[in-house]
Structure 1
């Protein structure tokens, strides 16, 4: 997961290249062809949510990735479902949805 300082209200949201990795935010992983949050990854997302709520001046970009199995179209959709799953979990933990952007790279960046 990567974050960027929140943009002033008068400007557009940052584009993906404007985000940078934050060491305190940890990545999660998914089982093959799945997008549900595993118990161990829920704990990681819980810690990420705590950090995000304590650092309300940062926006968050969640990237969805897949491996090369399947079609590019399928993998883009799966990557998006994975990113949405992580976003929905964080929102359920109190992170404002307006601070979160998702993107799917499918198999492009496994």
Structure 2
């Protein structure tokens, strides 16, 4: 049985002591707060169902979000896929998204 990256992390964390886990908990709280505040600040649409935001950045009027994506296949052993970059921008008040790719082009880094 092939483990997902998440399951591998869980197995690793099971070996940590309570002090290490508390440090991780503090870091996770800060990281979650950063991502949520950045999402609000940039007026991004919520993350679509079956996706997980990994990172967010902005260049001019376009917001780029790195997302892990579930394919929807019932027995997929490699979900989530990616992460992949998506761009979001407003056109006439409506948020439009577009696929960028597995990596941001060098001009956007």
Give the TM-score normalised by the residue count of structure 2.
Answer: 0.25
Q: Which has the larger radius of gyration?
A: 2
Richer in strand (by share): 2
Structure with the larger RCO, 1 or 2 (CA within 8 Å, 6+ apart): 1
Richer in helix (by share): 1
Give the TM-score normalised by the residue count of structure 1.
Answer: 0.25
